[in-house]
Each structure stands twice: as C-alpha cells, then as structure tokens.
Amino acid sequence: MTKHPKIGIAYFPTEGHRRVYQKAAPSIEAIEWTVDAGWSMPLSDKDLQILDQHADNKSLSGHGVHYSVLSAGRDDLRQDWLAHLKRDRWKEKYLHFSVHFGFSTGKNFDECAPLPVPYTKEALEVGRRNLEPLTKILNCPIGLENLALAFTRKDVEEQGQFLEHLLAPFGGFLLLDLHNIFCQSHNFQVDYFDLITSYPLQRVREIHISGGSWNDNIRRDTHDHAVPEEIYKVLPKVISLCPDLECIFMEQVPGAAKSDVEQDQILQDFLRLTTLE
C-alpha cells in the first residue's frame, strides 16, 4: 500500500456520538455520514459545522442504509430515496458513497435490515439497474457494503463474486465490513481470513470495523459492543491487500453511545485504530 488510510468514525447526530466525536476529534481524519439519518434526525449547527468541515477537506464519506439495491419491486420507495439524495447538502462533496448489498423492501414491508439474495443472473440485472441512478446523481465513486446475514453457506461463499459482478460495470468500490464477515465466518464455520480473501479486495476503498452481540451462539451484527480481538489481529494483513484503501471507520449504531461506558468503549476502539502500523 502506498499511503496510510484515513482513520475515522461513523458520525450520528446524537448526544452520545457528539461526545465521542468531541473527545476523539484531534485524531479523527475522516467521518462517514449516513445520509438517511440526516434526513430523519434534526441536525444542530454544530453537526452542520462538523460535516461541512469534513466535506470541504475531502474527508466526508457518504453512506446510505435504506436504498434497497436488490429489490425487484417498490420502485416508489427507491424514487423517494433518490429524490432526497438529490437535495442532499453534501452530494457534490462526498469522497465516495456506498449503500448496502441485499434487499430491504418488498410487497408487504417498507424497510428492514438488508436481507441476502441468491446469486442469479436476474438478481444481478436488478442490482445493476438500481445502482445506475446513483452514478447519475453523485460525482464520486459508488460502492456496496458486504452483508452480514446469509441464509445458506452458498450465500456466504458466493457473496464476493456477486459483489464483483455488480460493481464491475460501474468501476464501483467495495466497502469491506470486517465484522459482517466475522459473523458469517462464525455462523457458517468458514475460515475468517479465507472468507475475507474471497472478496474483490482490489476494489476496497473503505473498511468498517464494529462490534456485535451473541444470541444462542449466533453472531449478530448489532453494532453495539466492543470490536472482537480477531478483527484487530487480521486488520493489518487486510490493509496490505487493499491497494486503493482510503478510509477505515469505527462504526456503531446511533443508540449505541447512550451511556458513559458505551461512549468510552467506542472511543477506546477508535483510538486503537490510530495506533495501527
């Protein structure tokens, strides 16, 4: 790798995340902004100042949660989401912009956590069709984040290839979430590093690290606990395999920084990232 990636956090407009940002600010080189959160949560003048500063410094990464790339229906919801994106304050200034692999809308529901889709020609066509509007609105690289949830081991083993074929026509990038792969590795008993290297690492511009939780020995991507030690152990090797890596973000959900203990844990995990060689 020819340069050191920017180290940052996923920023949310909550009191807990504002406190974490304030404490970590001297070491924060970039932030990831989840645009859907900004459309539904009130932003303070301080929030706008922070986001504007990073946008002007080319250190603001855009991320969307509720744009359902692999849904074949509910075009009305996607059009509404795209209309919001067209009005987004920073749409001309994002370093790059990512959305989630998977589908989160359907006939009888409006949104949920992204769900996996079998790797088929038809699904590939749907995904490419839904990615194309993003390239017309945003003047920056467009990417997809890999998914934690899988229904079968085949889903797990094919997701890297599926992502490569979705992204290739757009020259798109991969947002590599190492905790999502950690979940799949444990839940389907697949070697963690082997699974990581099944993804198109040459496309990685951004890495997420986060924590999760256990439920009856099932690893869940709940983004609300400490980062597993296995992720720190593998991270330097992964970085060396990603020649176009721009940013590494510590990511937690908006509700994960409510208490002093939770805020301190996020801060410790972030500061540990800043010590990477």
The secondary structure of residue 158, as a DSSP letter, is H
Q: Are the CB atoms for 208 and 227 separated by under 8 Å? A: no
pLDDT the model gives residue 111: 62
Instruction: Render pLDDT for 15-29 as a digit per residue (tens, 0 to 9).
Output: 999 999 999 999 999
- Which helix (H) or strand (E) segment holds residue 108: the answer is none
Burial profile 166-186: b = 16 or more Cβ within 10 angstroms, e = fewer: bbeebebbbbbbbbbbbbbbb
| Residue position matching structure tokens 């009856």 | 216
Residues 153 and 134: their CA atoms lie apart, in Å, by 30
What percentage of the chain carries pLDDT values higher than 90? 83
Residues 149 and 187: their CA atoms lie apart, in Å, by 9
Average pLDDT of the residues in 45-67: 97
Which has the closest alpha carbon to 180: 152, 145, 226, 204?
145
pLDDT the model gives residue 44: 95
Domain boundaries, the chain: 6-273
Tell me the H-state helices in 140-276: 153-167, 178-187, 192-196, 229-240, 260-273
Residue type for position 274: T
The pTM is what?
0.95
Pick the CATH number of 6-273 from 3.20.20.150, 3.30.1280.10, 2.60.120.280, 3.30.9.10: 3.20.20.150
Whole-number average pLDDT of the chain: 93
Instruction: Render pLDDT for 189-234 as a digit per residue (tens, 0 to 9).
Output: 999 999 999 999 999 999 999 999 999 999 998 888 899 999 999 9
Neighbouring C-beta atoms of residue 129, cutoff 10 Å: 11
**Sign of torsion, CA 133 243 154 219?**
negative
Instruction: Render pLDDT for 177-190 as a digit per residue (tens, 0 to 9).
Output: 999 999 999 999 99
Residues 85 and 134: their CA atoms lie apart, in Å, by 9
Average pLDDT of the residues in 128-148: 97
